[in-house]
Amino acid sequence: MTLTIVTLLPGLQNTNGDAENATVLVRRAQWAGLDARVIAVDSRDDLPERVDAVVLGSGSDSSLEASRDALLTMHDELRVWGTEGIPILAVGTGWELLSWGIERADGSSLEGLGVLPGRAVPRGARVTGDLVVASSRFGLLVGFENHARDYVGAEGSPLGRVRSGSGNGRDGGQEGVVMGAVIGTHLHGPVLAKNPAFADQLLGMMAQRSGLEYAPGERAALVDGYAAAARDAQLGAARAAASVDDA
């Protein structure tokens, strides 16, 4: 059996390299001795017969309408995947497009697909910087946030609590949203490269659904050492920034 990871709209939704989360899943699956492939999907006609995980990266605001229109053609499939427990990882504007909708600073709004609860709303100023999140489900997550909107209306189902950074904003102390196997987050990086344990949990979900067993391969241990060093450096920078802010 070949595990198929779909990356949605990589030509529009990959400004932070977040579409490469699909590559992380495939590589780790292969290192574990499993067959896996990435399928790039730009329209409904590109969808493979079988889907084991979905990645939707972040794009620019100029591509919001085009991305939303393309995703609408796959609205039914997205809902079915979410209901069936197929992991869907959506980052940045990709996540916002799966929400109830996006409100923009000029007063206009864009209706989302309604796959995830909550909506994106304008904030006073863009936030950029390190983001550290403690997730009861996925552990301590690190990444980089870069967004001009806060996220409201999903307080009961966050990905985790913010330890450093802004996250969903509005002083709520929360980051992201989780609905079953559908996950939305501000964490760029790509997040699965910086947080291999997060990737392994998603791979475990994929394997279980397919009647397979997943355990990280030997090659993963080497790569995870690099990820650990990058995580330690980012956590150190976040702690230093917090010390300056508290001074």
Q: Backbone phi, then psi, for 205, in 5-degree steps?
A: -65, -45
Per-residue pLDDT, 241: 66
Domain boundaries, the chain: 2-246
Query: Mean of the pLDDT values across residues 193-205?
Result: 97
Q: Each residue of 18-51: pLDDT tens digit?
A: 999 999 999 999 999 999 999 999 999 999 999 9
Average pLDDT, the chain: 94
The answer for residues whose C-beta is within 8 angstroms of residue 93's C-beta and 6 or more apart is 13, 58, 59, 60, 61, 63, 64, 67, 102
Whether the per-residue pLDDT at 52 is higher than 90: the answer is yes
Crossing angle of helices 64-72/75-83, nearest 10°? 70
Contact 138, 198 (CB under 8 A): yes
Query: Mean of the pLDDT values across residues 57-71?
Result: 97
- One-letter amino acid at 227 equals A
What pLDDT band is residue 243 in, cutting at 50, 70 and 90? low
The answer for residues whose C-beta is within 8 angstroms of residue 44's C-beta and 6 or more apart is 73, 74, 77
Rounded-to-integer distance, Cα 130 and Cα 49, Å: 38
Exposure on the CB side of residue 136, measured as CA atoms within 13 A: 6
Whether the per-residue pLDDT at 148 is higher than 80: the answer is yes
Query: Mean of the pLDDT values across residues 130-141?
Result: 95
Return the biggest CA–CA distance within the chain.
56
Per-residue pLDDT, 244: 47
Name the pTM for this structure: 0.95
Task: Say if domain 2-246 classifies as CATH 3.40.50.880.
Answer: yes
Whether the per-residue pLDDT at 219 is higher than 70: the answer is yes
Exposure on the CB side of residue 67, measured as CA atoms within 13 A: 30
- One-letter amino acid at 25 equals L
Per-residue pLDDT, 246: 47
Query: Mean of the pLDDT values across residues 81-100?
Result: 97
Whether the per-residue pLDDT at 53 is higher than 90: the answer is yes
C-alpha separations of 111 from 128, 139, 144 in Å: 25, 32, 26
C-alpha separations of 184 from 107, 120, 138, 187 in Å: 24, 12, 13, 9
Per-residue pLDDT, 242: 61
Rounded-to-integer distance, Cα 68 and Cα 160, Å: 26
- Min mean pLDDT across 15-19, 29-33, 234-238 is at 234-238
**3-class SS at 70?**
helix
Whole-number percent of the chain with pLDDT over 90: 89
Handedness of CA 2, 52, 19, 28 (dihedral sign): negative
